[in-house]
């Protein structure tokens, strides 16, 4: 005690200043803490009430089924989206959109935008869940969802999807849930509805070049080689920047029906067996074909390092994979800014083979385990897919102000992004934009009709037992197989090394474990 | 007398001789530095040129110093996404840079001073204490949990400053600068009965101006360039710094350009490359002025003058 | 309070060390005060979160949290070391590249600083020095794009020049042997000007009278640089070297991704530890396995620093880092 008296005034003031700084810091901190801790308390308080209301609400119901779901208490959900909130979106979320949310589902929706880099495993969303920060929903894709499920981040939504998605069930294909089904539970609510049959199984080529060289169809790899050769000779275009394991290439290499599953493994749709890709004749055929192309100068030397996003559109390559007949709207407008007379067309290699729908590509909403408002999120997703009016409202804005309907097509007045069009777009209810011609729409609407569901549809692998093997196989595959699949390395001198290295990395364990999971999945099916 | 004159003549002769070879060396220095500057300037010119180009011509023809197809689209994209927030974003960045730099320099200098007091035994341990985090990092998850759950940095202005306020590298750098200050000065002050605080304030802080400016510059650059802390902790738009806006916007453009499956007619007209380049031009502008300003203070003879005075 | 009661109970027992501590604080409390803010920040943002590093020995899952998750020993390290030849290659590449960066980077930075110091035209100095730190602001992503424009097989500037001299084109992007050199050049280009500031401002702090008397003694410019500037810079160079030695096992993932696009054709010389980890665990979004390798990098680096620090101390204690 005596010693303290010896301290002179200056030190006292310094100590005081330091203490003030520290208390200032903790002061700010505890403030934030209070507001944070208050919110969940309020939520849990409101939650049981909400549930009761909705349950008993059915008897009180007025006109439509969905409005019967409308809870009596107002609550707020926080939804995480990616990208930038456009000024118009901000405006609508303060006025028209918010009003609709309150009128329809008595819920205030708050949006939180994060950069697109955080979309996926290991990003900020995962961090937020892991550290217990409150939010109620975020968009997700099947791959990310699988990883989050394994970490225990996702909430089982099985109980809410039956009750709170009445309109959704009318407009969205319920098989979409399969992509988010783990151990019998459903862990995300998909949104949107677009054809995905045979996705990546077609090849997009330049119709104008086809016409010029006198080809009228491409249905085999020989046709494709002939076309690529001619395009190189007459137009100086490289063939492609895609690797030889592209589905449209493998489709043409044999009579088997192979669909890719994961690194180095494909599924034979007929025998229901897993195929070790490196041991398959298809791998050999594809690598030899690419190597031949490489020798002929059809494959660019920078195939593995080029970062041009869309070389086909930039008039650098003569073909690329197609997606469900969309080349007319996906590739042509871009390509025509470089080559005005360019036309594109999409062909199936081996058109006689069946087409498979292997995954539901569309986005879904995940609900973190920390949220207590899964029911509200379901209502929210249901609303986005309720009917044409709602789907158009959230994707295009207010009719008359943000867009006009001309002959049933959307002509935009305001081009700012609202709720993502690609997310909400539902071929059953959404009005197409003017870019979608009638003839295109006809093909597009019926595109999935001839597609068979792939065996792997809804199958997701749990890697937790084979993490080490998987990690090694991924890196080895990329290092040893990709140069072969790019045509840069020949088949004969390199195949043995690839096989030996992968064996050493535990290929058999890896294959056996996935086979086991797959058998289990098939048995349940 | 004669000898002396002779000697003097010899000396001047010698002097002229040496300066001839000196001049040669100096000319070489001028040329080498000029070349290095050009090597550094060229990519910058490419960036400026490309930022004013049309995206399609960049994709097809590559980067150019003089744009083939002049276009302001990249800047429109940036302004479009920043909109009315641009002023606010600049303000946040400037506020963070200024407060952060001042705070960092004071905290680091104080710490570095302590590391430099010879008779202070625990300084070895303090050196180690400072150095270990340079090598061992905590990992993202524990760090994030501490910052958000316990320090409550979410949406807090301090979140943009405190986590990178102490940079061990800069402290070691400062320690090194402090070392070049003659110890006799501190000794003399001590004999006069000056306290450590006073020695720090009156002798070290002003005399190591060069070091403080240098380290201040480094801190300023790191605060100016940082988007990561905002990404981690800031959700409120009013607190977004400039770099975070740009980071977000680039990620957005990249996403749209990659999203071939969108079926919505996205195409190579999305200004991806040009926007990347334009962001450099937007952020480099103000900071480019900082260096010449700092350079004024990195001049010779400060210490010597002080010792003599 | 506790200590005083103890003192009373057993007189002559432990007061000495306590007194010594009290004496220490009495004498040095100002120094502790000065160090306090820095110590607090370091504790808050480095040491306390560091306790979470136990995560690398755990099978982390959300429900149990960091400390509750089950222990798994070294399982998270397994993926890295189970393929020893690749792990060894990655370690080697990392060390070699970092040594190149450090040695050549320092050499160029010192050279630049010395030269800048001899520039007498203020404007020339200002312009060139400002320009030399510009690359620091150019992100690796953009730098990678520019490099591609220089090195591409068809259309790359360098290959165009080679062809115009009647030489063969060089396929840089499929030949690993060039890349240590290219990467080192890139690193120097980006950092030399910036690091040069450190040495430049150190030189600015030197006693000018040394130079004046040397000039009077007839030492020419070269000699003054050789015998005054460089020796005086030695402590700074050594400190910088010691600081970078600790990071000898860690690499820059963004740089590698932007510049080589992680091309499998180049991995022989460009696969560093960070890229190897990235390529292995990317599919799983697993940050625990990454942290595990981080520990390996840190421990190795730390051991190396302790050794070099000891070695430096053998020559001159003042040059030591700690």
CA-CA distance, A510 to A515, in Å (whole number)?
Answer: 9
Mean pLDDT of B229-245: 91
In the β-sheet with A202-206, what is the strand arrangement from edge to edge? A319-322, A202-206, A344-348
pLDDT at residue number B285: 73
Assess contact for B63 and C146: CB atoms under 8 A: yes
Q: B101 to chain A nearest CA, in Å?
A: 17
Looking at the predicted structure, is the pLDDT value of residue A349 above 60?
yes
Do B86 and B173 lie in one domain? The reply is yes
Top mean pLDDT of A304-308, A460-464, C186-190 is at C186-190
Mean pLDDT of A462-478: 88
Looking at the predicted structure, is the pLDDT value of residue A483 above 60?
yes
Task: Name A267's bridge partners.
Answer: A259, A274
Do B10 and B157 lie in one domain? The reply is no
pLDDT at residue number A524: 81
DSSP, res A238: B
Q: B63 to chain A nearest CA, in Å?
A: 12
- Which of A18, A474, A488 lies closest to C174 in CB terms? A488
Residue B68 in any domain: the answer is: no
CA-CA distance, A330 to A344, in Å (whole number)?
Answer: 10
A316 vs C contacts (CB less than 8 Å): none
pLDDT at residue number A42: 36
CA-nearest residue to A415 within chain B is B80
pLDDT at residue number A361: 64
A472 vs C contacts (CB less than 8 Å): 79, 82-83, 280
* Interfacial B residues in 31-90 facing A (CB < 8 Å): 56, 59-60, 81, 83-84
pLDDT at residue number C138: 87
CA-CA distance, C125 to C130, in Å (whole number)?
Answer: 8
Q: Is A131 on the interface with B (CB under 8 A)?
A: yes
- Between C204 and A211, where is the model more confident? A211
Do B40 and B79 lie in one domain? The reply is no
Looking at the predicted structure, is the pLDDT value of residue B198 above 70?
yes
pLDDT digits (tens, 9 = 90+) for A246-297: 999 999 999 999 999 999 999 999 999 999 999 999 999 999 999 999 999 9
- Which of C33, C52, C321 lies closest to B127 in CB terms? C321
- A153-184 b/e with 16+ CB inside 10 Å = b? bbbbbeebbeebbbbbeebbbeebbbbbbbee
Looking at the predicted structure, is the pLDDT value of residue A15 above 80?
no
Strand pairing of A274-276 and A107-114?
A: unpaired
CA-CA distance, A515 to A522, in Å (whole number)?
Answer: 10
- Between C65 and A46, where is the model more confident? C65
Q: Is C95 on the interface with B (CB under 8 A)?
A: no
Domain boundaries in chain C? 2-59, 75-319
CB contact under 8 A, A302 and C86: no
Residue B48 in any domain: the answer is: yes
Label residue B254 by pLDDT band (50, 70, 90).
confident
pLDDT digits (tens, 9 = 90+) for B82-121: 777 788 888 999 999 999 999 999 999 999 999 998 888 8
pLDDT at residue number C147: 92
Do B103 and B156 lie in one domain? The reply is yes
Segments forming the whole domain that contains residue B92: 73-308
- Between B63 and A207, where is the model more confident? A207
Please tell me the total count of domains within chain B.
Answer: 2
Q: A457 to chain B nearest CA, in Å?
A: 19
Do B88 and B140 lie in one domain? The reply is yes
For an interface test with B, the pick among A31, A117, A192, A322 (most B C-beta atoms closer than 10 Å) comes out as A117
pLDDT at residue number A112: 93
Question: Exposed (0-12), middle (13-18) or buried (19+): which is C81, by Cβ within 10 Å?
Answer: middle
**pTM, full prediction:** 0.85
Label residue A49 by pLDDT band (50, 70, 90).
very low
pLDDT digits (tens, 9 = 90+) for A314-330: 888 999 988 777 787 77
For an interface test with A, the pick among C27, C257, C264, C266 (most A C-beta atoms closer than 10 Å) comes out as C264
CB contact under 8 A, B264 and A421: yes
C280 vs A contacts (CB less than 8 Å): 471-472, 474-475
Span of A459-463, B46-50, C236-240, C256-260 with lowest mean pLDDT: A459-463
pLDDT at residue number C14: 53
Mean pLDDT of A394-419: 88
pLDDT at residue number A224: 95
Looking at the predicted structure, is the pLDDT value of residue A233 above 90?
yes
User: How many angstroms separate the Cα of A114 from the Cα of each of A85, A370, A374, B251?
Assistant: 9, 19, 21, 10
C298 vs B contacts (CB less than 8 Å): 135-137
CB contact under 8 A, A338 and B268: yes
Angle ∠(C279,C280,C283) on CA atoms, nearest 5:
90
CATH of the domain at B209: 1.10.3720.10
pLDDT at residue number A11: 43
Do B82 and B213 lie in one domain? The reply is yes
Label residue A40 by pLDDT band (50, 70, 90).
very low
pLDDT at residue number A122: 80
Mean pLDDT of B158-180: 93
A115 vs B contacts (CB less than 8 Å): 231, 247-248, 251-252
Residue B295 in any domain: the answer is: yes
- Between A79 and C3, where is the model more confident? A79
Q: A326 to chain B nearest CA, in Å?
A: 6
Do B196 and B281 lie in one domain? The reply is yes
User: How many angstroms separate the Cα of C311 from the Cα of each of B221, C230, C231, C307?
Assistant: 34, 21, 19, 6
CB contact under 8 A, B267 and A421: no
- Which of A87, A115, A422 lies closest to B248 in CB terms? A115
Assess contact for A45 and A373: CB atoms under 8 A: no
Report all structural domains of chain A as residue ranges with CATH numbers, in order of start.
Answer: 28-195+362-396 (3.40.190.10), 202-355 (3.40.190.10), 463-524 (no CATH)
Do B132 and B163 lie in one domain? The reply is yes
Residue B136 in any domain: the answer is: yes
Question: Exposed (0-12), middle (13-18) or buried (19+): which is A134, by Cβ within 10 Å?
Answer: middle
Strand pairing of A409-412 and A403-406?
A: antiparallel
Do B144 and B31 lie in one domain? The reply is no
- Which of B133, B139, B276 lies closest to C42 in CB terms? B133
Do B118 and B25 lie in one domain? The reply is no
pLDDT at residue number A358: 74
Label residue A360 by pLDDT band (50, 70, 90).
low
CA-nearest residue to C69 within chain A is A151
Looking at the predicted structure, is the pLDDT value of residue B124 above 70?
yes
Residues of chain C whose pLDDT is less than 70? 1-15, 282-287
CB contact under 8 A, A304 and C79: no
CB contact under 8 A, A87 and B83: yes
B145 vs A contacts (CB less than 8 Å): 130-131
> Is the domain covering C75-319 a CATH 1.10.3720.10 domain?
yes
* Interfacial A residues in 396-435 facing C (CB < 8 Å): none
Identify the chains in contact with C, defined as 3+ C-beta pairs within 8 A. Answer: A, B
pLDDT at residue number A65: 46
* Interfacial A residues in 373-432 facing B (CB < 8 Å): 421-422, 425
- Between A283 and B275, where is the model more confident? A283
Mean per-residue pLDDT of chain B:
83
Residue B66 in any domain: the answer is: no
pLDDT at residue number B267: 52
B183 vs C contacts (CB less than 8 Å): none
């Amino acid at each position: 005690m005596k010693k303290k008296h010896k301290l002179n005034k200056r030190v006292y003031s310094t100590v005081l200043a330091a203490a003030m700084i520290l208390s200032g810091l903790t002061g700010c901190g505890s403030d934030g803490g209070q507001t944070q801790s208050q919110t969940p308390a309020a939520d849990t308080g409101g939650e049981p009430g909400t549930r009761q209301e909705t349950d008993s609400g059915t008897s009180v119901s007025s006109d439509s089924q969905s409005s019967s779901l409308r809870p009596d208490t107002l609550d707020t959900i926080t939804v995480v989206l990616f990208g930038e909130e456009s000024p118009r979106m901000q405006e609508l979320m303060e006025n028209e959109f918010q009003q609709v949310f309150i009128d329809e589902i008595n819920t205030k929706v708050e949006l939180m935008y994060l950069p697109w880099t955080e979309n996926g495993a290991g990003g900020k969303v995962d961090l937020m869940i892991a550290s217990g920060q409150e939010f109620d929903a975020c968009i997700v894709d099947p791959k990310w969802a699988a990883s989050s499920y394994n970490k225990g981040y996702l909430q089982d939504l099985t109980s809410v999807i039956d009750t709170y998605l009445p309109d959704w069930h009318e407009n969205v294909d319920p098989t979409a849930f399969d992509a988010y089904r783990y151990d019998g539970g459903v862990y995300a609510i998909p949104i949107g509805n677009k054809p995905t049959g045979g996705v990546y199984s077609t090849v997009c080529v330049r119709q104008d070049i086809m016409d010029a060289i006198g080809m009228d169809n491409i249905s085999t790899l020989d046709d494709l080689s002939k076309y690529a050769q001619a395009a190189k000779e007459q137009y100086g275009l490289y063939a492609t920047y895609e690797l030889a394991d592209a589905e449209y290439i493998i489709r043409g290499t044999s009579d088997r029906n192979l669909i890719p599953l994961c690194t180095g493994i494909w599924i034979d749709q007929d025998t229901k067996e897993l195929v070790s890709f490196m041991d398959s004749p298809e791998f050999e055929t594809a690598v030899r074909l690419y190597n031949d192309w490489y020798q002929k100068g059809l494959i660019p030397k920078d195939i593995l390092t080029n970062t041009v996003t869309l070389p086909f559109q930039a008039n650098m390559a003569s073909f690329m994979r197609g997606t469900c007949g969309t080349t007319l709207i996906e590739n042509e407008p871009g390509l025509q800014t470089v080559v005005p007379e360019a036309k594109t067309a999409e062909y199936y290699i081996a058109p006689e083979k069946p087409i498979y729908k292997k995954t539901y590509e569309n986005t879904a909403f995940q609900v973190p385990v920390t949220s207590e408002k899964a029911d509200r999120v379901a209502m929210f997703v249901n609303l986005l897919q309720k009917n044409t009016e709602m789907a158009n409202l959230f994707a295009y804005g207010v009719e008359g102000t943000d867009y006009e309907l001309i002959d049933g097509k959307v002509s935009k007045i305001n081009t700012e992004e609202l709720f993502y069009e690609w997310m909400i777009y539902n071929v059953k209810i959404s009005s197409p934009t003017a870019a979608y011609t009638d003839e295109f729409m006809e093909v597009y609407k019926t595109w999935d009709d001839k597609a068979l569901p792939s065996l792997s549809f809804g199958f997701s692998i749990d890697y937790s037992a084979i993490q080490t093997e998987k990690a090694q196989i991924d890196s080895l595959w990329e290092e040893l197989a990709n140069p072969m699949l790019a045509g840069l390395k020949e088949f004969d001198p390199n195949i043995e090394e690839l096989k030996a290295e992968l064996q050493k990395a535990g290929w058999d364990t890896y294959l056996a474990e996935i086979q086991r999971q797959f058998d289990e999945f098939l048995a349940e099916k | 007398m004669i000898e002396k004159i002779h000697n003097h003549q010899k000396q001047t002769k010698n002097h002229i001789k040496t300066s001839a070879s000196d001049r040669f060396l100096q000319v070489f220095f001028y040329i080498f530095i000029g070349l290095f500057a050009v090597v550094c300037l060229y990519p910058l010119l490419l960036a400026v040129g490309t930022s004013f180009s049309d995206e399609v011509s960049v994709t097809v023809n590559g980067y150019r110093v003089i744009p083939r197809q002049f276009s302001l689209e990249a800047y429109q994209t940036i302004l479009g996404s920043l909109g009315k927030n641009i002023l606010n974003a600049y303000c946040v960045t400037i506020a963070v840079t200024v407060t952060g730099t001042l705070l960092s320099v004071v905290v680091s200098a104080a710490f570095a001073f302590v590391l430099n007091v010879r008779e202070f035994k625990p300084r070895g341990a303090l050196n180690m204490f400072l150095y270990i985090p340079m090598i061992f990092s905590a990992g993202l998850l524990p760090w994030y949990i501490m910052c958000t759950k316990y320090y409550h940095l979410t949406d807090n202005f301090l979140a943009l400053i405190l986590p990178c306020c102490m940079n061990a590298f800069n402290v070691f750098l400062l320690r090194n600068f402090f070392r070049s200050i003659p110890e006799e000065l501190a000794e003399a002050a001590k004999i006069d009965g000056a306290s450590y605080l006073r020695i720090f304030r009156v002798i070290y802080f002003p005399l190591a101006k060069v070091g403080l400016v240098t380290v201040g510059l480094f801190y300023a650059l790191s605060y100016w360039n940082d988007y990561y802390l905002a990404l981690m902790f800031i959700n409120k738009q009013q607190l977004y710094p400039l770099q975070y806006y740009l980071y977000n916007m680039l990620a957005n453009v990249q996403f749209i350009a990659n999203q071939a499956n969108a079926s919505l007619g996205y195409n190579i007209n999305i200004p991806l490359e040009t926007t990347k380049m334009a962001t450099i031009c937007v952020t480099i502008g103000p900071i480019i002025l900082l260096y010449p300003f700092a350079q004024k203070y990195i001049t010779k003879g400060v210490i010597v003058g002080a010792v003599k005075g | 309070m506790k200590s005083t009661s103890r003192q009373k109970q057993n007189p002559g027992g432990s007061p000495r060390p306590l007194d010594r501590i009290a004496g220490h604080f009495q004498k040095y409390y100002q120094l502790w005060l000065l160090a306090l803010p820095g110590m607090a920040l370091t504790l808050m943002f480095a040491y306390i979160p560091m306790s979470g590093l136990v995560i690398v020995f755990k099978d982390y899952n959300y429900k149990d949290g960091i400390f509750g998750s089950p222990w798994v020993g070294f399982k998270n390290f397994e993926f890295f070391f189970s393929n020893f030849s690749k792990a060894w290659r990655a370690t080697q590449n990392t060390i070699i590249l970092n040594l190149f960066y450090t040695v050549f980077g320092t050499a160029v930075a010192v050279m630049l600083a010395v030269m800048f110091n001899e520039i007498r035209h203020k404007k020339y100095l200002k312009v060139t020095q400002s320009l030399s730190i510009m690359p620091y602001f150019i992100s690796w992503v953009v730098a990678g794009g520019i490099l591609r424009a220089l090195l591409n097989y068809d259309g790359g500037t360098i290959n165009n020049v080679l062809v115009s001299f009647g030489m063969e084109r060089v396929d840089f992007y499929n030949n690993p042997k060039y890349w240590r050199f290219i990467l080192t050049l890139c690193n120097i280009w980006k950092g030399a000007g910036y690091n040069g500031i450190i040495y430049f401002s150190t030189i600015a702090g030197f006693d000018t009278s040394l130079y004046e008397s040397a000039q009077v003694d007839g030492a020419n410019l070269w000699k003054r640089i050789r015998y005054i500037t460089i020796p005086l810079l030695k402590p700074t160079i050594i400190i910088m070297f010691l600081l970078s030695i600790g990071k000898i096992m860690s690499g820059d993932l963004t740089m590698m991704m932007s510049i080589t696009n992680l091309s499998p054709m180049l991995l022989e010389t460009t696969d560093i530890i960070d890229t190897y980890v990235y390529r292995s665990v990317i599919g799983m979004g697993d940050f625990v396995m990454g942290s595990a390798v981080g520990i390996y990098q840190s421990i190795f680096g730390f051991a190396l620093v302790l050794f070099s620090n000891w070695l430096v101390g053998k020559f001159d204690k003042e040059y030591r880092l700690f």
